[in-house]
Amino acid sequence: MSSEAVASAKVPPWVTKPKKAGEIILRGNGPRIFGPFRFRPGGYVWRFYQYSDPPFGFNRTSLVVSLESRAGDVGGGTYQLLSNTSARKGQNLVVVNGRLYVDVSSSANRFVMRFTPR
């Protein structure tokens, strides 16, 4: 996240904290597939924050994020929808394990996501 974007928004504290052991932090914009990552048993707290760089305003379109065992495959293997929301920020409990991709299939803003082991 650029320092200008951080200065112009009320950013949740977890966005700028250093990464801890076992955490997965993702940053990007637009549709994108990350991974694969090795998710361990026990669950994760998943948080997201969407923002835009000035002078553009926050775009209230859906952030659609899922976990998939095969990148881009929503019909087979492991699939879990994490969000389909236009909210600027949010969190959820994720209880999965194994080798998974994080598929951001829709996003009109920049985003930061953090998976923190429980």
* Residue 31 token pair: 């549709």
pLDDT tens track for 18-72: 999 999 999 998 899 999 999 999 999 999 999 886 656 666 778 999 999 988 7
pLDDT tens track for 79-104: 899 999 989 999 999 999 999 999 99
46 strand-pairing partners = 92, 115
Architecture of domain 3-11+26-117: Sandwich (2.60)
Cα(67)–Cα(102) distance, rounded to whole angstroms? 5
E strands, the chain, in order: 24-29, 32-39, 44-51, 63-68, 79-85, 89-94, 98-106, 110-117
Q: Please give the residue that has the higher pLDDT: either 1 or 95.
A: 95
**14 phi, psi to nearest 5 deg:** -65, -20
